[in-house]
A = this chain, B = another copy of it.
């Protein structure tokens, strides 16, 4: 996949900022590649970049219409079809992280044919993948895991990879979801792989490497989320991490999109070690990444101090304070 920058990021009628996390991720980690956002009436998300129409974006030099909004299940709402057709007709490529195959929609297929532009679908895995072997690979791996979906696993992994690079430690961020793939331009959308091969795809994603090289693998879902725990477990087993970081949003009380209580950080540490041992007996927790975006700086400091005392590992907010202490611990 080779996205042409700059992008017009489509936010649609996103209900909240979490729904627009794909777009937000691209704006946060590749701001130089974003020319503006396109929002529909009723949209409650704002990426903090200039609002513009397709025509204005084209005049500003945009090359790709990037769908920056997700919904549970990743299905394309009917009301977006016309906008995608317009974007193609205006000469833009369309990049998407939805489950829906855009070229399965006749109007879009036809618009691609007429415009000669491209559909870049980050959620369509390029297989085939093998059945996982469970064989121990060379090199080192860190996986970010979560108490829930959308708690900062991707940001934590990106921040850790950046900090390793600053320290001249060989490292690669390995994207496992559409946003990560749209940010770095490669990866495997694990949740879109056929279940039988999901762990095998995770093995493929972080192959044998130099002994001191770190793959920093973006986690998915949560072992405690009733919709996605199977995906999280396949990713844990296939990644066979030496180290993991638990990501958590301290103000959330119920899990996203389901009626289930949030698990404790202690339960996530325990279960990740219990299950992760199957493919890497040395797996250990090297830190906790708290997403404190919902609380003020003082409360964030108190919450982080409490967690540090309680769990005895480094605690960071990757966005607010960086991940130096976690990286110290993973390299120790």
Q: A interface vs B, CB < 8 Å?
A: 72-74, 99, 130-135, 190-200, 223-224, 226-235, 237, 257-260, 271, 274-275, 278-279
Other-chain residue from B73, B234, B258, B260 in contact with A230 (beta carbon distance below 8 A): B234
A229 touches B237 (CB 8 A): yes
Contacts of A73 in B (CB 8 A): 130-131, 196-197
Are A198 and B230 neighbours in the complex by a CB distance under 8 Å?
Answer: yes
| Shortest 10 CB-CB contacts between residues of A and residues of B | A230-B234, A134-B226, A191-B196, A132-B227, A195-B198, A230-B230, A230-B233, A134-B258, A195-B195, A195-B231
Min CB distance, A127 to chain B, in Å?
Answer: 10
* Copies of this protein, total: 2
| Assembly CA distance A235 to B132 (angstroms) | 18
**Bound complex: CA A195 to CA B73 (Å):** 11
| Contact with A226, one of B99, B190, B278 (Cβ below 8 angstroms) | B278
Residue of B nearest to A255 (CB): B134
Enumerate chain B residues within 8 angstroms of A232, measured Cβ to Cβ: 230
Pair B192/A194 contact, Cβ less than 8 Å: yes
Give the nearest-CB partner of A257 in chain B: B131
Q: Which residues of B contact A133 (CB under 8 A)?
A: 226-227, 258
Most central of A72, A200, A228, A233 by chain B CB within 10 Å = A228
Known pairs A233-B233, A260-B278, A278-B260; A226 contacts B194 (CB<8 A): no
Cβ distance A165 to chain B, nearest Cβ, rounded Å: 30
Which chain B residues border A196 with CB–CB below 8 Å? 73-74, 99, 191-192, 228, 231
Cα distance A135–B226 in the bound complex, in angstroms: 9
